[in-house]
Amino acid sequence: MRYNLGSPPGSEDVVFELIHSVEHDDSSIFNLTPMDWDIGVEVADPDHATSELSLRGGYIHEEEGDRYDPEIYEEARQQIFAVNTGTLEVWWSNVSQGVQWPSKVVRYNNVWPATTEEIVIASASGTGDLTGSDRNNVQLYFQNDPDQPGFNPNDEHAQLLPFAGGVAAFPLRNDLGSAQTSLPYVLTKYQDLSSIWHYRVFSIEAEQAPYFFEYDTTAGLLLQPPFPLNLMGASQDTSDVDTNPATTHSFQDRKFNIWAMAGPDSPSDPTPEVDIKFWYQPIDDFYIPTGSPTNEAGDVPFLGSLVSPATDPVTVTYRVEWPEDVPEMRVGETLYKPKFGLPDIS
């Protein structure tokens, strides 16, 4: 290749450089054995990191695999993050006469980290607050379309929601993923003060000590499902396991909400338990694998695949006590609007 170097025009130095073209899959030149690389860790090369190209990433040859974050890769820095299992082939460059020449081919085997941060669904705390003075533009990563780069569907049914003055990611399940789609992990990303992207990877447990789907409540209160399930809208199939009016301690209203109706029948009786099986209305961002159980309204069972049959949601238990302070209603009195601590029933 010929270069004209210098100025003014007509007085440049003429330089020739010999270019050696090879196939990217020539194993006699490149070590093509994939090296394990943790999902969520920026893909980097030690030679590239010390060159004048260190502010830019490599080139991804998508024919070998495309499970990377395309939005970050398309930015000026071309940072590369694997977002699901598979292979990535990256061409790393060097610079000669101001031209970037791909000169090193590396294949990466994307793997889930051996240790991650953890989310326990029953805790109702999600990831905890993801924001901070050095963490901006917090986002949840997912790609539900298998035909697009970066496929990692939101089969965890995760959302970013306000929490503790910031935001947190809340998954609703860890039972729908598979090796063909994605294992149950939540991926979040943020930018530091230099606008460089970073990832955080969270594994998901449904229950783990001290957090279980067992909650204490008071008679007269709505039996709220674990947050953020209560934001998804009540389903007609949500039900109390005990359907016997003579023994149940719950009441279901016309909007399918279930209320704690009564505590112990006498001070010597054990605390009654109400076992609820919740269904919920999925939103557009949720990925529901083909064949997953749904009802006629399109609602899905909460953690249905954790129990048998899969159409049966996991049981959430509420221990119901009577309130300590109970407002009184006089004989012959009519209640419509709230007064004297009594509720609004209009």
- In whole angstroms, how far apart are CA 299 and each of 121, 213, 280, 288? 19, 20, 5, 11
What band does 11 get if pLDDT is binned at 50, 70 and 90? low
Instruction: Encode pLDDT of 199-224 as tens digits.
Output: 999 999 999 999 999 999 999 999 99
CATH architecture of residue range(s) 117-205: Sandwich (2.60)
Which two tokens mark 122? 């029953």
Instruction: Encode pLDDT of 12-68 as tens digits.
Output: 677 787 888 888 988 988 899 999 999 999 999 887 766 666 667 899 999 999 999
Burial class of residue 56 in the structure, from the number of CB atoms within 10 Å of its CB (0-12 exposed, 13-18 middle, 19+ buried): middle
pTM attached to this predicted model: 0.87
Which two tokens mark 27? 């194993």
CATH of domain 2-111: 2.60.40
CATH topology agreement for domains 117-205 and 213-346: yes
How far apart, in whole angstroms, are the C-alpha atoms of residue 256 and residue 189?
37
Task: Look at the domain 213-346 and name its fold.
Answer: Immunoglobulin-like (2.60.40)
Burial class of residue 292 in the structure, from the number of CB atoms within 10 Å of its CB (0-12 exposed, 13-18 middle, 19+ buried): middle
Domain residue ranges in the chain: 2-111, 117-205, 213-346
Q: What is the largest CA-CA distance in the chain?
A: 108
Instruction: Encode pLDDT of 217-274 as tens digits.
Output: 999 999 999 999 988 888 888 988 887 777 788 998 998 899 999 999 888 889 999 9
Selected residue with higher pLDDT from 34 and 94 = 34
Q: How far apart are the first and last CA of the chain?
A: 85
Selected residue with higher pLDDT from 157 and 336 = 157
